[in-house]
Structure 1
Amino acid sequence: MAGDLRSGSEKGRPRLLLVEDDAGVRRSLQLLLQAKGFDVRAYATGAALLADASADGARLFVADYSMDDLDGIEVLSRLRARGWTGPAVLITAYPSPALDARARAKGFDIVLEKPFRDHVLVDTVTKLADQERRV
């Protein structure tokens, strides 16, 4: 979904999908990314995100790896199967070379290890949004 980042967003802000099952982490990341100019749609489960028809209009995707219903890789796989092509970031407290390779093979651009500093996530999604804008 390359092109104008204003489509699929609120007030010219790139829409970002966030799926994280920990309510405190989800809210913290949502507020951080909103403060940095993103229109964040946050979900507690992968199933909730996938049930939202408006999710296909998003420009970016950030997902926790380990969740109760679907892992972040499965959520992205299902989004890709629907034709969604935006950049994606996987966040995980369980990093490994095998997980990194699997995530990248399934379409993630970046894998970030928890805990991370706020600026790392902000810089990552900003860079991905800028790269997509130029495509």
Structure 2
Amino acid sequence: MRRSLQLLLRARGFDVRAYATAGALLADPLAQDACCVVADYRLEETDGIEVLSRLRAEGWSGPAVLITAFPSADLSERALAHGFSRVLEKPFREHALGDAVAQLTGTSEAHSLS
């Protein structure tokens, strides 16, 4: 799934960095340069909400999209309260993620994503 989303966003002109684990993302100082973060809710070692909370604690302030196969009103409320700009439910239509990122970053031009 990660690779598919990476290719989809690259096709839209975004410079994408994909990470196999939350720890790898959080350990990469280049992640602080991202114009937007896309995180899955359920991750092997944590969840996407915790990842964004840790990025925010380190000073990152960009927009973020949470994707989930386990949607609920409670999860959406928690995600928005923790700083996510959007919550996308899987499966989503092919262009939904690219459209959301383009809208949140204010452009469809190339930008760096994590």
Q: Quick check: 1:47–1:70 contact (8 Å CA) kept in 2?
A: no
Deviation digits for residues 62-111 of structure 1, max 9, x if unmatched?
A: 00000111100000000000000000000000000000000000000000
Task: Report whether the alignment pairs 1:55 with 2:62.
Answer: no
Moved over 6 A (4+): none
Matching residue of 2:18:
42
SS in 1 for 2:95: helix
Matching residue of 2:110:
none
SS in 2 for 1:85: coil
Matches within 5 A, 1:5-20: none
One-letter code aligned to 2:57: A
Higher relative contact order (CA 8 A, sep 6+): 2
Unpaired stretches in structure 2, ≥5 consecutive residues:
108-114
Matches within 5 A, 1:21-100: 25-100=1-76
For the residues of structure 2 that align with 1:33 and 1:128, how far apart are their CA atoms? 14
Matches within 5 A, 1:104-115: 104-115=80-91
SS in 2 for 1:91: strand
For the residues of structure 2 that align with 1:35 and 1:119, how far apart are their CA atoms? 11
Q: Of the two, which has the highest radius of gyration?
A: 1
Unpaired stretches in structure 1, ≥5 consecutive residues:
1-24
- Farther-moved stretch of structure 1 (82-91 vs 117-126): 117-126
CA RMSD of aligned residues (A): 0.9
How many equivalent pairs are there?
107
What TM-score results when the alignment is normalised by the length of structure 2? 0.92
Task: Report whether the alignment pairs 1:117 with 2:71.
Answer: no
- Calculate percent identity across the aligned residue pairs: 65
